[in-house]
Amino acid sequence: MNVNTQRLRVAGPAGAIEVALDTPPVGTPARGVAVVCHPHPQHGGTMDNKVAQMLARAFVQLGYRAVRFNFRGVGGSEGHWDDGRGEIDDALAVVAAQRDASLPLALAGFSFGGYVASQAAKRLADAGAPAERLVLVGPATQNYEVAPVPPNTIVVHGEVDDVVPLAATLDWARPQHLPVIVVPGVGHFFHGQLTLLKSIVVGAWHR
């Protein structure tokens, strides 16, 4: 993401997982740890996806250590695609390696990564170690079973998303009485509107 991004590896269930870590400015204590999940690995998704990077930037601005990682079989991460099952285990392995017991944990994901983040959050909550909050951007509500999420979850979706129809996310959110922030005229990848996305996430977090 920038010259100060740290690249490291952590142990995962399918082998080493490649991780990128961005931190608040030197001398600024972190107020939490945020793990960001990238879009679909079979469609070019990596931790360097622009939306995933912008989510990391939003969290750094909020004072979090932002942790992006490549799912198994992507970039420098070992293993092979597991159709969304093992990828949840990958996210939980990164959480286990990077979580600080003294700080809140946030989970975020874009598209397929939104599905993974929701399922990882559910498992953490079921285990008695819930995340503080979730941020889901264009979650893959049409093709994957995105888990129900807590009421303080931030969900952002483009009005003209041609990958995950807005209607699918509204249908998922409606039974939960969960608000969805809809960005008019914006497609799945938020082309030309990434700075707006960052301000929406930061503003919604403060609210």
pLDDT average per 10 residues of sequence, the chain (207 residues): 85 98 92 98 97 98 98 98 98 98 97 98 98 98 98 98 98 98 98 98 95
Angle between helices 86-98 and 112-126 (to 10 degrees): 60
Q: 9 pairs with which residues across the strands? A: 18
pLDDT at 4: 83
Which residues of the chain form beta strands (DSSP E)? 6-12, 15-22, 32-37, 64-69, 105-110, 133-137, 154-158, 181-183
Report the topology of domain 6-206.
Rossmann fold (3.40.50)
Q: What CA–CA distance (Å, rounded) separates 123 from 112?
A: 17
pLDDT at 147: 98
> Which distant-in-sequence residues (6+ apart) come within 8 Å of 97 by Cβ?
10, 11, 19
What is the value of pTM for the model shown?
Answer: 0.97
